[in-house]
Structure 1
Amino acid sequence: VVDYEHFTVPFILTVDEILSKIENLTLREMPGGTLFPDTMKQYDDYTIREALHNCIAHQDYTLQQRINFVENPGYLYYSNAGTFIPGTLENALRNEEPQTHFRNECLCRAMVDFNMIDTVSRGIKKMFNEQWRRHFPMPDYEIDQIKKKVVVRIYGNEINKRYTDLLKTNDTLSLWDCISLDAVQKGRTIHEDVAQDLLKRGLIEGEAPHYSISLSIAKNTHQLPSYTKTKGLDKERLRQMVLQYLSNAGSEGAKRDSIYEYLKDVLPRNKTEEQQIRMLGDLLKSMSKEGIIKAEGRTWYIVPQI
């Protein structure tokens, strides 16, 4: 079943015709330091075909289900019926030997002979490497061994510019580094041992499970303004802004809501409005304990310093 958004046609296309149309999709990339964009293919030819051919080769045809291939605005969606033969994605990526078992051996051998699937059963790893080479998000695999279904998403757009720039500027990263950082950019949980390694190397920061690309990476990739907007100003700067605002308010004072309206653009964007208001409340209470501001009812005033 092919849900083909970009090309509406009154007849059934062959697999090769569909793939050919997708392979010709392009996007524009702005290299650093230039106003002239590079044009590149939105999807890598090998990755498009390898993912679909894997679905065909490893489908469990006894389940009598369809292979699904859907083009979405930012990614390609594939699904097929059957258990994932390597067991886990990690097994598929780490395995250095040809696969010894095929569900549809005759079909697989025929597809190998026609160069349709990888001859050494390392096609999945090659797809990850191709996305890495192109500085794109890693493929997503959803493996349901109980329902016997495998889903793959191949991305054709960047998700987080900081991740993309990091891949472009850091040539010391391994494939596993990129997979872990990709999980961070997608807001997913990573193993704590992996997180600690990335923290020590200065690639991420934060506390489990809410990690983000670190300040040093933001500086190196010229994303400090974006980073600052996400993380917000530090507490000392916020304190100074509160004092300035209450000083301007004078004897009339100001309620927390008006102080929030003044500060909201410099509060962390990765927090909800409720979390931002709570953060401001904690800051006001802390400053009140220090005796530099005070509250009368719901109105805040600056305390004159002697």
Structure 2
Amino acid sequence: MIDQVGSGIRRMFQTQRDRFFPLPDFVLDETEQRQPRVEVIISGQVLDAKYTQLLMKRADLDLRQVLLLDRVQKKRPLSADQAKQLRAMKLIEGRSPNYFVSAKVAEWTGQRASYIRNKGLDDDYYRKLVTDYLKKYGQATRKDMDELLLAKLPEVLDDAQKAHKIRNLLQAMRRDNLIHRTGPKMSAVWRLGVGPVADQS
């Protein structure tokens, strides 16, 4: 599929761009145990039409930047240098490995809602959800907290990261004496205010 004069790989990228398809992924294997080889993965459908159209039409993006943004679209990892380049151009936000397109890119592509879901809301919003719940119902288990908060957390986080975020939020609220936990850890419940002295250790 790729000719031997060096132009084939670039042509494959250009063809995918022209067809508004996601760009191919190349894996270079240069291990000592075998001959060097190149593996290519070609996606046959558009993952996000508007986003892909951005990659095709932005005259201010060169091919390298297009390739890196395509990796963000596919949720593939970026190196520190790659992320630094895209950050410098204000094209991505987030922390490694959970990068997402910036507000500027979301504005270009009409993805404002998706940007907000990826960026998430500030902790004050999550804290208010917790305190409002506890004012209404008096107490909550961790399962209750998960049901309350999971759907509100950034989409860019995986399940383990979301669970970690909720745990950190509850512990921070506990340290600030906004809520306290009672009972054995596996069956503990959360309530408003400062708990017994023993609970604060």
Check whether TM > 0.5.
yes
CA distance in 2, matches of 1:172, 1:299: 54
Kindly report which structure 2 residues correspond to 1:90-239, keeping only aligned pairs within 5 A, or say none.
99=5, 122-145=7-30, 146-160=34-48, 163-167=51-55, 170-239=58-127
Equivalent pairs, count: 187
2:160 to 267, 274, 277: 274
C-alpha displacement at 1:161, in angstroms? 5.1
SS of 1:258's partner is: helix
Structure 2, unmatched stretches of 5+, are 195-201
Contact 1:163 1:181 in 2 (8 A): no
- State how far apart, in whole Å, the 2-side matches of 1:122 and 1:274 are: 43
Give, in whole Å, the separation in 2 of the partners of 1:124 and 1:274: 37
Q: 1:284 aligns with which of 160, 167, 170?
A: 170
Distance in 2, matches of 1:272 and 1:143, equals 28
State the percentage of identical aligned residues: 34
Q: CA deviation at 1:162?
A: 6.3
Letter in 2 for 1:299: V
Structure 2-normalised TM-score?
0.78
Given the alignment, which residue of 223, 230, 247 partners 2:135?
247
Structure 1 Cα separation of the partners of residues 78 and 159 of structure 2: 27
Paired with 1:232 and 1:161, the residues of 2 have a C-alpha distance of: 23
Return the structure number with greater strand share.
Answer: 1
Output one character per residue of 1:166-193: Cα deviation in whole Å (capped at 9) or x when no partner.
3256331111111121222233333433
TM-score for the superposition, normalised by structure 1? 0.54
Shift of 1:239: 0.9
Corresponding position of 1:258:
144
- 1:180-228 deviation line (CA, Å, top 9, x unaligned): 2122223333343332121011111223343221233223322122233
Quick check: which one's helix share is greater?
Answer: 2
Task: Return the offset for 1:241.
Answer: 0.8
**1:300 and 2:186 correspond:** no
Residue 156 to residue 231, structure 1, CA distance change in 2 (3 Å): same
Instruction: Work out whether residues 142 and 151 of structure 1, in 8 Å CA contact, stay in contact via their aligned partners in 2.
Output: yes
Tell me if the contact between 1:136 and 1:157 (Cα under 8 Å) persists in the aligned partners: yes
Report the CA distance between 1:229 and its aligned residue: 2.9
Gaps of 5+ in 1: 1-50, 59-98, 100-120
Equivalent pair of 2:98/2:157 in contact (CA under 8 Å)? no
Q: Runs (4+) of structure 1 moved beyond 4 Å?
A: none
**C-alpha distance in structure 2 between counterparts of 1:153 and 1:299, whole Å:** 49
Change (3 A) 1:292 1:162: farther
Q: What CA deviation, in whole Å up to 9, does each residue of 1:211-260 have, x standing for no partner?
A: 2212332233221222333343321211111111111113xx11121121
Q: Aligned with 1:190: secondary structure?
A: coil
Confirm or deny: 8 A CA contact 1:132 1:175 kept in the other structure.
no
Q: Check the 8 A contact 2:179/2:193 in 1, yes or no.
A: yes
Indicate the RMSD between aligned Cα atoms, in angstroms: 2.6
**Distance between the aligned counterparts of 1:192 and 1:268, measured in 2?**
22
- Pick closer, same or farther for the CA change 1:273–1:152 going to 2, 3 Å: closer
Secondary structure in 1 aligned to 2:23? Answer: coil
